[in-house]
Amino acid sequence: MTLIILLAVASGMALSAQAAINGRLGARVGVIESALLTFAMGTVITGLLIFFFEPSYDATLLTVPKWQLAGALFGIVYMIVMVAAVPKVGVTIATVATILGQMSMSLVIDTLGWLGNAPIELNYWRLAAMACIALALVCIYLANQQPASTAQETELKEEPLHVS
């Protein structure tokens, strides 16, 4: 269990690095082209992983319920929004906002047992974690606003007003 949590943390770190890199790339070549590169490379690498390492299963992509294929569409939305958002708001705000969205939806899915998942009771600890993520987003947003206003105040203090 600890290993899988550590791997999830590492994959989150990789997503932040990916967001930073794709954000820069998207600002230079376009949001959609950057997303296309990511999905094209992902397709090739995933195809190789399937060919060499994936065991066989009873179901195929053609035989599973079609709603289960919708997850791929959500990946496209995530990629395009992150590539567009990172150059405008930075990696931290874009990532924490994404985590807040993930936490919100995952609490709903867990609590109601949606999409074939076993229900997990909503409790104060889960709500407190949600509040902490929301507070983190607010704090990071305010921290990003702080340097600009401090610099402006310093400029105003240093320059005397000239009245003509």
- Checking if the pLDDT of 91 tops 70, the result is yes
8 A C-beta contact, residue 111 and residue 71? no
- What confidence tens digit (pLDDT) does each residue in 54-82 have? 999 999 989 999 888 888 889 899 999 99
What is the total residue count of the chain?
164
**pLDDT for 105:** 94
Quickly state the pLDDT bin for 129 (edges 50, 70, 90): very high
d(CA 37, CA 15): 15
Q: What is the pTM of this model?
A: 0.76
**pLDDT for 149:** 56
Q: Rounded mean pLDDT of 105-112?
A: 95
**pLDDT for 28:** 93
What residues does each domain of the chain span?
1-56+67-88, 90-145
